[in-house]
Structure 1
Amino acid sequence: MDYFSSDFKLGILGGGQLGKMLLYETRKWDIYTKVMDASPQAPCKIACNEFVLGDLMDFDAVLAFGKDVDVLTIEIENVNVDALEKLEEEGVKVYPPPKALRTIQNKAQQKLFYVDNNIPTANFSRFAYASEIKDSVENGGLEFPFVWKSAQFGYDGQGVKIVRKTDDLDGLPPGECITEKMVDFKNELAVIVAKSSSGEVKTYPVVEMEFHPEANQVEYVICPARIDEKVAQKAQQVALKVSEHIGHVGLLAVELFQTLDDTILVNEVAPRPHNSGHYSIEASYTNQFEQHIRAILGLPLGKTDSKVAGVMVNLVGAEGHQGDVVYENIQEILAMEGVTPHIYGKKQTRPFRKMGHVTIVNQNMGKAREMAQKVKEKISVISK
């Protein structure tokens, strides 16, 4: 099929920043795009060929949206899988496949998938209702501390909480959830696996992630990870095993723990472009967004090596600020060598909302990390 400057139509469910960055690549190649999102201010709206306002969890809306596209992909997991399965039955190519997405959407199902396929992961318990957790603690089935995760609809640090005492259970959403044993780890790592609809597979270098202690959001992504080569190889092997068994097409971001004895455990996965791959826009031969397009269209996968060391800094809304956004001191970071800001186009800020990111590239990883710290200290995302 001719994808370029043709009648081919790519559908994207979700119009947020990941979709916007996918559209950098479709614009570059003149691929016609149709996007659906529930927000009339979605970042994708200004860059796609067609924009449809609709609820991604609504069966009829998703079904109607997908009927006239040739390939359908996602930029967020929270979409109606029943509708995707129906579209697939009707001949629409849907990537990632709905079967894989159904497993990934539910964290309890995801954890059971790891166990069933002998993929190393933290010990966990599954609960139909959050109220059952307190009974388990009182009866000796659970010990503090542990991590609580909502089974569905968690995103950007939402739906995750460290529970250290009984009072921490107050106010948890009542529905299905899991608890995980706290993992003593040296590093939080990630590997992005690209798998083409033609079967070609490539991995990006292992990255290291540093998290904000309160928001449970990534503050820095560092590529390459500052780890031993044997550990990096082990991380990539585990990520490839997850990819093989889950049957995705496109990108699969595999988040990992490196334990104190260098065991690699899978935390969770995302079947789409991912925050841990944003560095690749400036630092890689083929950035993750172009790679996702190549993969879902069955085109040859691009080179995944990095050209330079890269560090990504997330720009999130400052605490105490809500309303019309202002990027304070952005001109000062633009004066720094190797620094590239990406603004997502969200007009309203609120505490910890992802508003953009900054990539810092340098031949020397130490210098890149030092510069990233300066960028983090200098720029602020505040309200008017």
Structure 2
Amino acid sequence: MKNYFSSNFKLGILGGGQLGRMLLAETQKFDIHTSILESNKNAPCAEICNTFVVGDLLDFEAVYNFGKTVDVLTIEIENVNLDALDKLEDEGLTIYPKPRDLRIIQSKARQKNFYVDHQIPTAEFSHYAYLQELIHSYENDIIDFPFVWKAARFGYDGNGVKIVRNITDLQSLPKVECITEKLIPFKNELAVIVARNAAGETKTYPVVEMEFHPEANQVEYVICPARIDFKVAEKAREVALNVVSKLDFVGLLAVEMFQTADDKILVNEVAPRPHNSGHYSIEASYTNQFEQHLRAVLNLPLGNTASKVAGIMVNLVGEEGFSGDVIYENIEEILKIDGVTPHIYGKKETRPFRKMGHVTIVNADIDKAREIAQKVKETIRVISK
């Protein structure tokens, strides 16, 4: 095994946002030298990594040249130049998650086709190369309202997803490659995070339940453990493990799923990195998702994924009507509450629905934790001067 700790080893990370920032807390704990490539010189990671390189993650030369300076390369965002990663991998660089998996996951159309090809349950869908093709399908009664529209590429935090209910919604969509999905009448949105290292050791985190903001289409609360029947949780875990197995995935994979009205489990989409649905683990789990990501990509033994206590995560997003230098109003009030821990992402400017941080609530009683989470949500405000 390589000596990663207090050594000349360099871990490269593509992306310098909040996920990278939380990952750096773990590299610092292990004294692993970390280099980051990111286009924004003021990104959350800029001041706290060992080496910060400004460069476009979608630019071949920037990614390739950065990759030549590190010993192992990983990501905190999947929208990166894959041709550069292919070349680096061909030249012997260890890259996890593998470029071939990122190629599938980067495109929601390829992702959905992968599920169909490998008998992984997912919502019915159609793929359109451009908007006019979708409009043509509607005009010829091939598709009908309502349906879920998703941009094939570059969606994040609720952007690139829209429920289309009428012709006005349809005509206002961006003119990009997309997929449409049948609108599923689901009971719950669930997620399972699976970790797997190169040796094949695999572990799953408990199934979590996600509550979404109806307008922003962003997760408002992540609840662990999910308040669902044990058999449903086992089914969700099996489906997530099947996705990881079929991909032969190495790293951390968050598998988002729907629990239908008749308790079927359908895969919605996956994220090949630490994920919003795992933030609760920093306070609630024996091994948090960021440490586990490191363990997986460095082929170290995986840590215990069990929870020490029930955990709920509340996203802190910019309030509507406020843009500019951020103020966390009433943060002192939530700090007075037992079991409440805020995480601030280091973004100096807020705007409506921008993810600025999160708060974890831990409690022996999941229902009590949910009550406190509601109070936290109603108390703290992310506003501007």
Q: Distance in 2 between matches of 1:278 and 1:118?
A: 30
CA shift, 1:65, in A, is 0.4
Partner of 2:185: 184
Partner of 2:377: 376
Q: Residue 314 of structure 1: SS of its match in structure 2?
A: strand
Q: Distance in 1 between matches of 2:161 and 2:191?
A: 18
How is 1:26-45 mapped onto 2 (pairs within 5 angstroms)? 26-45=27-46
Partner of 1:10: 11
CA shift, 1:159, in A, is 0.5
Q: Distance in 1 between matches of 2:28 and 2:316?
A: 25
Partner of 1:304: 305
Q: Residue 226 of structure 2: SS of its match in structure 1?
A: coil
Q: Distance in 2 between matches of 1:174 and 1:93?
A: 37
Partner of 1:342: 343
Q: Residue 44 of structure 1: SS of its match in structure 2?
A: coil
Partner of 2:168: 167
Partner of 2:230: 229
Partner of 1:211: 212
How is 1:79-158 mapped onto 2 (pairs within 5 angstroms)? 79-158=80-159
TM-score, L = length of structure 2 = 0.99
Aligned residues: 384
Q: Distance in 2 between matches of 1:376 and 1:354?
A: 14
Letter in 2 for 1:84: L
Partner of 1:332: 333
- 1:74 equivalent to 2:75? Answer yes
Q: Residue 28 of structure 1: SS of its match in structure 2?
A: helix
CA shift, 1:135, in A, is 1.2
Letter in 1 for 2:279: H
Q: Residue 263 of structure 2: SS of its match in structure 1?
A: coil
Q: Residue 43 of structure 1: SS of its match in structure 2?
A: coil
Partner of 1:319: 320
Partner of 1:64: 65
Letter in 2 for 1:61: A
Q: Distance in 2 between matches of 1:26 and 1:3?
A: 10
Q: Deviations over 1:130-165 (max 9, x none)?
A: 111111112111110000000000011110110000
Q: Deviations over 1:10-45 (max 9, x none)?
A: 000000000000000000000000001110111011
Q: Distance in 1 between matches of 2:135 and 2:66?
A: 43
Q: Deviations over 1:48-80 (max 9, x none)?
A: 100000000000000000002110000001100
Q: Residue 22 of structure 1: SS of its match in structure 2?
A: helix
CA shift, 1:170, in A, is 2.3
Partner of 1:292: 293
Letter in 1 for 2:222: V
Q: Deviations over 1:191-246 (max 9, x none)?
A: 00000121100000000000000000000000000000000000000000001111
In structure 1, runs of 5+ residues without a counterpart are: none
Q: Distance in 2 between matches of 1:61 and 1:198?
A: 31
Q: Deviations over 1:245-302 (max 9, x none)?
A: 1122110000000000000000000000000000000000000000000000010000
Letter in 2 for 1:87: L
Q: Distance in 2 between matches of 1:171 and 1:147?
A: 14
Q: Distance in 2 between matches of 1:354 and 1:49?
A: 25
Q: Distance in 1 between matches of 2:91 and 2:328?
A: 46
Q: Residue 45 of structure 1: SS of its match in structure 2?
A: coil
Letter in 2 for 1:276: S
Q: Residue 172 of structure 1: SS of its match in structure 2?
A: coil
Give the stretch that moved more between structures: 49-58 or 171-180.
171-180
Q: Distance in 2 between matches of 1:164 and 1:343?
A: 36
Partner of 1:355: 356
Q: Distance in 1 between matches of 2:48 and 2:139?
A: 54
CA shift, 1:171, in A, is 2.8
Letter in 2 for 1:130: L
In structure 2, runs of 5+ residues without a counterpart are: none
Q: Distance in 2 between matches of 1:160 and 1:25?
A: 32
Q: Distance in 1 between matches of 2:328 and 2:176?
A: 38
Q: Residue 25 of structure 1: SS of its match in structure 2?
A: helix
Runs of 4+, deviation exceeding 6 Å: none
Q: Distance in 1 between matches of 2:172 and 2:92?
A: 44
Letter in 1 for 2:240: A
Percent identity, aligned pairs only, is 72
Letter in 2 for 1:376: K
Letter in 1 for 2:348: K
Partner of 2:254: 253
Q: Distance in 1 between matches of 2:247 and 2:213?
A: 30
Q: Distance in 1 between matches of 2:171 and 2:114?
A: 29
Q: Distance in 2 between matches of 1:359 and 1:172?
A: 35
CA shift, 1:173, in A, is 1.7
Q: Residue 27 of structure 1: SS of its match in structure 2?
A: helix
Q: Distance in 1 between matches of 2:360 and 2:383?
A: 20
